[in-house]
Amino acid sequence: MSYSLSLYKFQNGVPVPPDRDQVRAILAPYDAAPEKTTGDSTEFWIRAADGSEVEVDVVDCVIGIERPQPGAVWKIIIELADRASGAVLIPDGTFLCREDMRPHLPEGMEGDSVFVPEITIEAFERVAGPFTPPLI
């Protein structure tokens, strides 16, 4: 079974592109194929110290998280979600959002969102519930 997440950032009710320099800075220490990463790269293959891996794609206004494996790679995913996005789309359609994202959400989206001071593994597991694969 494949599992994926989408990370978003909103400004004044519309999705905005993530700061690619910030994304690159967060992911660079874990890049499993740095020779394939250029200054304009939008695709990352991330490997945590325990060997768990995930593919990350930055396209337009979305950071796509594809096929994350159980393990320490989830700490990297959660750090990216908290620092670079502000909102995680859970597979059931719920958004896990940093509280500071609330005034920037599109109209009507607040009802489908759960707000937290920061996105953590514990908050993600609590909100994602049965959709959560084994994380760590």
Domain that holds residue 117: 4-131
The answer to whether position 26 is within a domain reads yes
**pLDDT given at position 92:** 86
The answer to whether position 136 is within a domain reads no
The answer to whether position 73 is within a domain reads yes
What is the C-alpha separation between 121 and 119, in angstroms, rounded?
7
Q: Total structural domains in the chain?
A: 1
Residue 18, both tokens: 């993530």
List pLDDT tens digits, range 77-136: 999 999 998 899 988 899 999 999 999 999 999 999 999 999 999 999 999 876 566 676
The answer to whether position 15 is within a domain reads yes
**pLDDT given at position 131:** 59
Mean pLDDT value across the chain:
89
What is the C-alpha separation between 126 and 16, in angstroms, rounded?
27
Residue 35: CB atoms within 10 Å:
6
Tally DSSP H helices, then E strands, for the chain: 3, 9
**pLDDT given at position 35:** 59
List pLDDT tens digits, range 27-52: 999 988 765 655 567 899 999 999 99
Task: Please give the residue that has the higher pLDDT: either 21 or 35.
Answer: 21
* Closest residue by Cα to residue 45 from 32, 58, 34: 32
